[in-house]
Amino acid sequence: MKKLIAVLMISTVGLYGCTTNPTADIAAPVSYTPAVQTTQQSVASQTNVSSEALVTSPAAFLAQQTTSDVKAQKILTGVAAVKEANKKALKQPDSNAYQNGIMTYDFVPGALYKIYCAPLNVTDIQFQPGETLVSVAAGDTLRWQVSKTYSGSGEARREHLMVKPTDSNIQDSVVVTTSQHAYHLMMYSTNSVYMATVRWRYPGETDLAQNFGEEGDVASNSVINAGGVNVSQMDFNYRADILQGSRPDWVPTMIFNDGHKTYIQLPDNVQDSPTLFVGSDATGGEQVVNYRIVGNYYIVDRVVYYAQLRSGQTNSTIVQISYGDNSNAR
């Protein structure tokens, strides 16, 4: 069955730390219970929704939501804070994001991108057309060879970094700054397994352009007023896979939580709103979970690790939502 990954993740740190799987202690669901919608507004009826409710920026969207019910969280400090942040920030290769030998990550500022290399093999790191390399800083410049090149010309010119380790079982951190972005790369050398090509796509930037047009329109939108949101609490470590049926028009484009609620963004032009089911494990039992619809967002009133979106009289189409790399959701 063909699967679709729709993962966007964010962090605000650029340091290397612990890489423990964050989903190791999350129990797989034994059943799925329909969530209770607390409003009657449909994603399909967006003509009466203001443009502020449809902003793509998670920070801007959260700034519009009430925060009166946010409870105090345990605050980590020092080394523990760094480890926890880097654990969430580390993004790994995913088979659903591969096309031939090209691994495409979703770009989010502050994310740490894991790249596997191998001696005697070159990994090609590609940047978007029109993006100019400014600087490359590496921790280990003796055992890692990095060179610059480019392909294409004019507006189609694309800059590349060619990376090759001189030995196996070594690692390095590389920071690449360009005319448009800063990339934090976590390089790992294996005996023989390597990633041939790595590139990025920039869905958040594309969505903003599609929703608001020219740059001046973005500036006039409430996106610029999102400073009150604690971006460091956002966790984008989710994936969406087509579990049953063909690809619907409502496959989520973004999923994240803020430590208290879960936000599922659907495309703007959804014809039929799917039904949300939330996973229940063997210990927690079935619980009533409320959600509401604001614009093209489903807002679930708790942090959800497993969920399904279903449509059709017999649930002929099912999209599975899972947290992290866990594959035990089905």
Q: pLDDT tens digit string along 128-179?
A: 998 999 999 999 999 999 999 999 988 889 999 999 999 999 999 999 999 9
Q: List the end-to-end C-alpha distance of the chain, in Å, as a whole number.
A: 14
Predicted pLDDT at 212: 33
Architecture of the domain spanning 232-323: Sandwich (2.60)
Question: Between residues 6 and 40, which one has the greater pLDDT?
Answer: 40
Q: How far is Cα of residue 13 from the mean position of the Cα atoms in its chain?
A: 15
Q: Do 86-201 and 232-323 fold alike per CATH?
A: yes
Predicted pLDDT at 310: 93
* Whether pLDDT at 216 is above 60: no
Confidence of residue 325 (pLDDT cuts 50, 70, 90): low
Architecture of the domain spanning 86-201: Sandwich (2.60)
Question: Between residues 249 and 52, which one has the greater pLDDT?
Answer: 249
Paired sense of beta strands 254-257 and 123-126, if any: unpaired
Q: Are 309 and 296 spatial neighbours (Cβ–Cβ below 8 Å)?
A: no
Confidence of residue 314 (pLDDT cuts 50, 70, 90): confident
Predicted pLDDT at 61: 62
Averaged over 267-288, what is the pLDDT? 74
Q: Are 195 and 93 spatial neighbours (Cβ–Cβ below 8 Å)?
A: yes
Q: What are the CA-CA distances from residue 316 to residues 58, 115, 313, 319 (Å)?
A: 30, 37, 7, 10
Domain ranges of the chain: 86-201, 232-323
